[in-house]
Structure 1
Amino acid sequence: MLSTQAAADILNVSRQYLVRLVDTGEIAGEKVGSHRRLRAADVAAFKAVRDAKRTSALDRLSSLSEDAGGYELEIKRR
């Protein structure tokens, strides 16, 4: 079990943002007294899905930029 700060450090996000994710149900967590605890496996699974979505979006963006000629060098002569 991880504290919200430890889980936020693993995900490289703020603790407040992580608490919001737990409160909205985007990542599983449970309350122990007044503290929230997250399973390390749940944090790792969330990170894997988030990273896969991010990679996919970047691939699409690169593809669109290539299609638009965004990577071609144009040499201007004077």
Structure 2
Amino acid sequence: MASAPVLDHRLAVPDDDTVAKAAEAVDILGRFLRDPAPLTATTLLLTAKGEDPTTIELPAPALHLLADILVQIANGHAVTVAPVHAELTTQQAADLMNVSRPYLVGLLEARKIPHRRVGNRRRVLLTDLLEYKRRDDTDRLAVASELAAEAQRLGFDY
């Protein structure tokens, strides 16, 4: 099997036609996944070139992941897939978090996100990055809730 890059930086926001096709596929796949019986699916792939069809069997976890991917595309979002054990460069990690690389490096140097050095380069495990993002999102939500409660207490809610 060919090795793929950890993150594809050629991401593009899907166009209207792609969004519509993804939404239709989500509907069909969703109905299939709601049926408790199937654990795998046999899929027939057809090409526009008129070649002979190819049949593949997809395991249930792959079908659920495919459904998740299609939902994101149907919502107009660009999607990438990375192995959980992946090590990211600081630029890849910053891109994934939608922050600048210097800001991410600051988080690494402050030991807020675990990392390791490979020569003079830093590497971040995707799992560590996602855990930091989960904690940060939780903290932000708590602060926003506190601010909303304080605004309500002071009568600033409209």
The TM tier, using the shorter chain, reads 0.7 to 0.9
TM-aligned CA deviation for residue 10 of structure 1:
1.6
Partner of 1:16: 102
Return the TM-score normalized by structure 1.
Answer: 0.86
Instruction: String of CA shifts for 1:30-56, please: whole Å, max 9, x gaps.
Output: 111121100000000000000000000
Which one is further off, 21-30 or 58-67? 21-30
Spell out the pairing of 1:56-71 with structure 2 (5 A cutoff). Answer: 56-71=142-157
1:26 aligns with 2:112: yes
Give the CA deviation at 1:25. Answer: 1.0
- Which structure is richer in relative contact order (CA contacts within 8 A, separation 6 or more)? 1
- The alpha-carbon deviation at position 27 of structure 1 amounts to 0.7
Distance 1:17 1:7 in 2: 11
Poorly superposed stretches of 4+, deviation over 4 Å:
none
Deviates more, 1:44-53 or 1:8-17: 8-17
Percentage of pairs with the same residue: 35
Within 1, Cα distance between the matches of 2:152 and 2:110? 37
| Alignment gaps of 5+ in structure 1 | 73-78
| Alpha-carbon shift at residue 71 of structure 1 (Å) | 1.5
RMSD (Å), alpha carbons: 0.9
Match of 1:44 in 2: 130
Name which one, 1 or 2, has greater alpha-carbon Rg.
2
SS at match of 2:123: strand
**Structure 2 partner of 1:76:** none
